[in-house]
Amino acid sequence: MNTISRQILILTAILLAACDFHGPWEYYPEERETYVGIYTYGYVLENGSPYICFSKVYQLDEVSTEDFDFYESANVTVEGRFAGSKGNGEISEVTLHSVGNGCFSYYGARSSYYDFAYKGIAGETYKLNASFKWDSAGQMVTSTYKATATIPNSVKVEGLNIPLQDGSYKWETYKVGKIFAIDFLEYPMDMEFIRVALDYDNSARGVLMILNYGMDNGESPNTTINHLMEGLSKEDSHGYRGVSIHDPLETQQNLGFTSNRVVAGNKMLDTLYLTNMVIPLGSSSIDIYTTDGSYIDYVDKVKQSASDSRVEPESNIENGMGVFFGAAKTSFKIDMGFDEGEYISMFHMADRHCYNEDVNETTRGCRLFVDVMCSGMLSNRNMAHLDLVDANKESYKYYLWGDDYEVSKDCYASNVKAAMLLGSSTWSEFLPDTIKPEDKSKAYADGLKRYCVTSGFEDNKIASCGALKTRCLESKEKNECNTYMWQWCSDRNWDYETFPQCGPALVNRFVVDSLKSSVWEKEVKNWCESPCSEKYSLCEELGYEQENRKECLRSIRVESYTTGVVDSYMSNDLVSVMR
Which of 153-162, 217-226, 233-242 has the least mean pLDDT?
233-242
| Mean pLDDT calculated for residue range 488-492 | 97
Q: What's the mean pLDDT in 157-167?
A: 97
CATH topology classification for 156-291+326-343: Immunoglobulin-like (2.60.40)
Is the pLDDT score of 273 beyond 70? yes
For position 134, what pLDDT does the model report?
95
Is residue 556 very low, low, confident or very high in pLDDT (cuts 50, 70, 90)? very low
Higher pLDDT, 432 or 402: 432
Query: Considering the chain, what percentage of its residues have pLDDT values greater than 70?
Result: 86
Please say whether the beta carbons of 414 and 447 come within 8 A: yes
SS3 letters across 379-410: HCHHHHHCCHHHHHHHHHHHHCCCCCCCCCHH
**Full DSSP string of 263-332:** ETTEETTSEEEEEGGGSPBEEEEEEEEEE-HHHHHIIIIIIHHHH-TTSPP--SSBTSEEEEEEEEEEEE
Answer yes or no: is pLDDT of 574 > 60.
no
Least confident of 173-182, 311-320, 484-493: 311-320
DSSP tag of 473: I
- 326/15: higher pLDDT: 326
What is the pLDDT of the chain when averaged over all its residues?
Answer: 87
Mean pLDDT of all residues in 173-188:
96
**Best CA proximity match to 376, nearest among 429, 344, 418:** 418
pLDDT score for 59: 81
Least confident segment among 34-48, 327-341, 378-392, 431-445: 378-392
Residues 6+ apart with CB under 8 A from 269: 155, 198, 200, 204, 206, 207, 258, 259, 260
pLDDT of residue 311: 84
d(CA 546, CA 507): 14
Q: Helix or strand or coil: residue 109?
A: coil
- Taking residues 211-239, report their average pLDDT: 89
Nearest-angstrom CA–CA distance, 560 and 340: 41
DSSP class per residue in 365-382: HHHHHHHHHHHTGGG-GG
422: Cβ contacts below 8 Å, ≥ 6 apart:
396, 397, 399, 400
pLDDT at residue number 265: 87
**pLDDT for residue 356:** 66
Of 145-149, 450-454, 573-577, the one with minimum mean pLDDT is: 573-577
- How high is the pLDDT of residue 85? 85
Q: What is the pLDDT confidence band of residue 359, given thresholds at 50, 70 and 90?
A: very low
Q: How confident is the model at residue 560 (pLDDT cuts 50, 70, 90)?
A: very low
Q: Which residue has the higher pLDDT, 362 or 347?
A: 347
Among 83-87, 170-174, 196-200, 384-388, where is mean pLDDT lowest? Answer: 384-388
Which of 4-18, 208-222, 312-326, 537-551 has the lowest average pLDDT? 4-18
Q: Which of 14-28, 221-235, 345-359 has the highest mean pLDDT?
A: 221-235
pLDDT of 562 > 50? The answer is no
pLDDT of residue 161: 98
Alpha carbons 335 and 337: distance in angstroms, whole number: 6
What DSSP state is assigned to residue 210?
E
For residue 113, the model assigns a pLDDT of 43
Domain boundaries, the chain: 156-291+326-343, 364-551
Q: pLDDT by residue (tens digit) across 496-526?
A: 999 999 999 999 999 999 999 999 999 999 9
68: left (phi over 0), alpha (psi -120 to 50) or beta: beta
The per-residue pLDDT for 572 is 43
| Selected residue with higher pLDDT from 94 and 236 | 94
Q: Residue 226 pLDDT more than 90?
A: no
